[in-house]
Structure 1
Amino acid sequence: MSETPGPAGRRTRVAVVFGGRSSEHAISCVTAGSVLQAIDRERYDVVPIGIAPDGRWVLEADDPERHAIRGPGQLPSVDASRAPVTLTRTGSGAGLVVSEAAAPPRELGDVDVVFPLLHGPWGEDGTIQGMLEMAGVRYVGAGVLASAVSMDKAYMKVVLGAAGLPLMPSTTVTAREWAADPDAVRKRVAALGYPAFVKPSRGGSSIGIAKAHAADELDAALEGALVHDPKVLVEASAEGAREVECGVLETLDGDVETSVPAEIRITGDHEFYDFDAKYLPEEATELDVPALLPEDTAARMRELAAQAFRAVGCEGLARVDFFLMPDGSLVVNELNTMPGFTPLSMFPRMWAATGLDYGALVDRLISLALRRGTGLR
């Protein structure tokens, strides 16, 4: 499908949607701040739409600095007191209507494309993608199925495993199973061996993740993860492995290309890549972009990343995370359909090292969305 710009006489209108109801609300705001700063204002008319933690949609401030992390405990959030905004179906697609107290509804005009910078459930999991499909508006990134499968780590493993991709052994635990028969759960986890990682199945940004070094730490780790998700993935720890990542992008002709790999090295008091290590600038995290890898290993990683992208039916972009095991083998950890775009995020860094800078990356994603229609494809 050819690119569909805005009508003659105006720029293409991009609604940047961020915030959301998940525990990754703050990180979504930070990502949006970076995109708002980088997007080409000469090409695009930008409308920032915030989704408050309670689900309200508002017309947010077009102010990148307001959406930045200012330090530990100083995380940004969507201002729910701002004017409510509604996405409505129009004859030509979808439009935005602002409702303000003591004033008639105000139309902002048609939306040509939505850039959903939402992380976690109620955004990255196919929910907003389904809404946008129903509204008939183009959007950046993966569709409904790929978003849903990739958000749920347990189902993602089923799909990637069926495609023959190498994975770490794991088991899934539901809140109901844990409440009904905790001993059976403990036995299943023991079969994986310790240490083991306990993760909310549909979470991100390392929120709710814990490492159970032995059986006596499992209960607390499960209880902590279940706070965030009634379904939890328990996975054998990739002891001694290096954490490496690779970016994937669609090309304008429908093929895929991969970035140079990057490596995350955790130092200081962090045993794994937790929330603070990911997002707080003063934390001790060392990044190698590109990763220092043998050529054949890097080539194999890029091949596996593209294979994972295709296996889940992804579109637009993805970041594929790997473990490089001590024996030199590669194991897929997970696939993220909306990786972070913060100043510290690996996805834009990898593409910059590959030759596509931040602004060009944002432009590529919008162009891909404009070329792709909604509906079955």
Structure 2
Amino acid sequence: MIGAEAGRDGRRNVAVIFGGASQEHDVSVVSAQQLMDAADARAINVIPVYMDFENRLFTGPRLRDVSAFRPRPGGLREVRFNWGDEGPELLGKGLRLPVDCALPVFHGPFGEDGRIHGMLELIGVPVTGFSASGSAIAMRKDATKTLVKSVGVNVLDSVAVNRHQRGNMGAVLDEVEAKLGLPVVVKPANLGSSIGVGLAKTRADIPALLEYVLRQDDLALIEPQVPNLVEYNIAMMWRGGEVVFSAIEQPKSGAELLDFREKYLSSGGTKGALPSEGMLSLTREINPDLPADLKARILDYSRRAFLILGARGAPRIDFMCNRATGELWFNEINPIPGSYGFFLWEAAEVPLLYPELIAHLVDEAMGASVKRFDDPVPQGAWLLPR
């Protein structure tokens, strides 16, 4: 086994996992590079772990070179997580690396949705962010809305449509018109970064948009279009016994809908997300001048939603607002926001630098994720001899 790489020097070995079989694979790679570059090398030894399109895990130094991705670098070792004699580890052919914590940097399915968290929780590897169940709920936009509505957070009415309902499109369209009216927004229920979002201005527009969405996701969500739309985003964490907030971000766009290309591939002829400030190509205003009551509602809704969804990690919540009326609606929560929203934390009322944000995520995971070896069955439930 390779021993030098596994040696302990007082730093925490943090496996940063990224890539995956998601439509947002490339964004995940860029976000992970930013995070690994920002981690405090005096306290954290970063172990890059790449997940390919077949959900296999690899490690190797070339994962730190973003220019080597085509979409995956060569010369990597396949590895798996394991619980060894000394605790969590990465195992590969001729390789054993002790791991203190795993830090997923995934966006979308097969990563951000709790599947990676579930795998790591079963093995006993401390993992940052939401739990597996919390991540799964957060990824399902319809489920999230139902849960946060139960604690007094305002959400838009919606209609969920699965693939089996395509054969009864007339009933779907009738329900949409009766419950929501027109125009409506059609979007995937489980994908992030506005992938697949479309605007239906007439009843006749809806079937084609649904067909497109349901080729990418097994569930579509239809919501009324918010007039005079302005969006506000905010991240949060549990720190020092309370919910702590980042700066508020107001994305700006000339498009009717802020879709994936508008977020990542727009403005000034720039192609591709730049690895310095997250969605750098997106024009945004940080800490916009807001009416006091609107800011208070954003903070109140964010706190309520964060607490009911698990109060872990540093997720970002996106809100929609009618600029003319001041009405505010919870839109979605991102368990792993692009670039972990570090630019929002740097502009917070009490600024938090990116290395400090990473350290918080690791400390939280290390404090809350402990593998238990004792018998979990209470005596009253014993059916087998002890």
**4+ aligned runs moved over 4 Å, structure 1:** 62-65
Please give the alpha-carbon distance, in whole angstroms, between the structure 1 residues aligned to 2:266 and 2:22.
23
Structure 2 unaligned regions, length at least 5 = 1-5, 269-280, 373-386
What SS class does the counterpart of residue 77 from structure 2 fall into?
coil
* Match status 1:156 vs 2:144: yes
* Match status 1:185 vs 2:172: yes
The aligned counterpart of 2:95 is 106
* Match status 1:141 vs 2:126: no
Matches within 5 A, 1:362-373: 362-373=358-369
What SS class does the counterpart of residue 198 from structure 1 fall into?
strand
Please give the alpha-carbon distance, in whole angstroms, between the structure 1 residues aligned to 2:161 and 2:132.
25
The aligned counterpart of 1:28 is 28
CA displacement at 1:286 relative to structure 2? 2.1
The aligned counterpart of 1:236 is 224
Residue of structure 1 aligned with 2:78, choices 81, 84, 88: 84
Q: Tell me which amino acid in the other structure corresponds to 1:110.
A: P
The aligned counterpart of 1:3 is none
CA displacement at 1:60 relative to structure 2? 4.4
Structure 1 residues 281 and 363, CA, compared in 2 at 3 Å: closer, same or farther?
farther
Moved more, 198-207 or 278-287: 278-287
Please give the alpha-carbon distance, in whole angstroms, between the structure 2 residues aligned to 1:306 and 1:286.
26
| Count of matched residue positions in the alignment of Structure 1 and Structure 2 | 351
Please give the alpha-carbon distance, in whole angstroms, between the structure 2 residues aligned to 1:337 and 1:314.
11
Residue of structure 1 aligned with 2:258, choices 270, 273, 276: 273
Q: Is the 8 A contact 1:29 1:67 kept in 2?
A: no
Q: Tell me which amino acid in the other structure corresponds to 1:294.
A: P
Please give the alpha-carbon distance, in whole angstroms, between the structure 2 residues aligned to 1:147 and 1:80.
31
Q: Is the 8 A contact 2:145 2:330 kept in 1?
A: no
Structure 1 unaligned regions, length at least 5 = 1-5, 69-74, 100-104
CA displacement at 1:280 relative to structure 2? 2.5
Matches within 5 A, 1:303-322: 303-322=300-319
The aligned counterpart of 2:111 is 123
Deviations along 1:337-365, one digit per CA (max 9) or x if unpaired, are 11110xxx7x2221111111222222221
Please give the alpha-carbon distance, in whole angstroms, between the structure 1 residues aligned to 2:294 and 2:102.
37
Matches within 5 A, 1:346-357: 347-354=341-348, 355-357=351-353
The aligned counterpart of 1:40 is 40
Structure 1 residues 97 and 7, CA, compared in 2 at 3 Å: closer, same or farther?
closer
The aligned counterpart of 2:296 is 299
Q: Is the 8 A contact 1:29 1:78 kept in 2?
A: no
Please give the alpha-carbon distance, in whole angstroms, between the structure 1 residues aligned to 2:258 and 2:70.
21
What SS class does the counterpart of residue 137 from structure 1 fall into?
coil
CA displacement at 1:213 relative to structure 2? 1.7
What SS class does the counterpart of residue 84 from structure 1 fall into?
strand
Moved more, 281-290 or 145-154: 281-290
Q: Tell me which amino acid in the other structure corresponds to 1:360.
A: E
Please give the alpha-carbon distance, in whole angstroms, between the structure 1 residues aligned to 2:44 and 2:331.
36
Deviations along 1:260-295, one digit per CA (max 9) or x if unpaired, are 21101102xx32211122122636742000122123
Report the identity percentage: 30
Moved more, 123-132 or 80-89: 80-89
Structure 1 residues 149 and 67, CA, compared in 2 at 3 Å: closer, same or farther?
farther
TM-score, scaled to structure 1: 0.87
What SS class does the counterpart of residue 261 from structure 1 fall into?
strand
What SS class does the counterpart of residue 29 from structure 1 fall into?
helix
Q: Tell me which amino acid in the other structure corresponds to 1:78.
A: R
Q: Is the 8 A contact 2:125 2:371 kept in 1?
A: no
Q: Is the 8 A contact 1:263 1:291 kept in 2?
A: yes
Q: Is the 8 A contact 2:238 2:311 kept in 1?
A: no
CA displacement at 1:98 relative to structure 2? 2.3
Q: Is the 8 A contact 1:33 1:67 kept in 2?
A: no
What SS class does the counterpart of residue 194 from structure 2 fall into?
coil
Q: Tell me which amino acid in the other structure corresponds to 2:135.
A: S
CA displacement at 1:255 relative to structure 2? 2.5
TM-score, scaled to structure 2: 0.85
